[in-house]
Amino acid sequence: MQVKVTARHFDLTDNLNSYAVDEIKRLEKFYDHIIDAELTMTIEKNRQIAELSVKVYRTTLTSKAKTYDMYLAIEQVVSKMETQIKKYKSKLKDKKGARKSPPKTRPLVDDVEESEEIEF
């Protein structure tokens, strides 16, 4: 997985960069077919905004968090991404399982049962 970290309107420190990369690498524990991840951190007045985009097979998952602390914003955005990845992975399993299971059919009703009439 390739990780790209971008900082807008502030200088990115080595500590913050390494923390962000470590947190994003944790996502591989939930789904190991992640192609790349891009984290954009922005400071607007007193808000710290973290946006994470993760590219997986055929789709891109995104999450966003706003707080007053950048470390907390990174934790929140990665936590949100964990839930999205889990949901995406379960959808893939459901599709894969649907292809392998035999088609569901209704049992045929005998002609004898149809001809019988029940009177009350």
Residue 67 has pLDDT above 70, yes or no: yes
User: Which pLDDT does position 107 carry in this prediction?
Assistant: 64
Residue 112 has pLDDT above 60, yes or no: no
Q: Check the CA dihedral 71-72-74-78 and report its sign.
A: positive
In CATH terms, 2-95 corresponds, of 3.20.20.450, 3.30.160.100, 3.50.50.60, 2.40.50.140, to 3.30.160.100
The residues spanned by each domain of the chain are 2-95
Lookup: tokens for 51: 């946006």
Using pLDDT thresholds of 50, 70 and 90, give the confidence band for residue 98.
Answer: low
User: How many whole angstroms separate alpha carbon 12 and alpha carbon 8?
Assistant: 9
Contact 32, 65 (CB under 8 A): no
Within 10 Å of residue 107's Cβ, how many Cβ atoms? 5
Contact 29, 17 (CB under 8 A): no
User: Which pLDDT does position 32 carry in this prediction?
Assistant: 87
Residue-wise pLDDT tens digits, 8-48:
999 999 999 999 999 999 999 999 899 999 999 999 999 99
User: Which pLDDT does position 103 carry in this prediction?
Assistant: 58
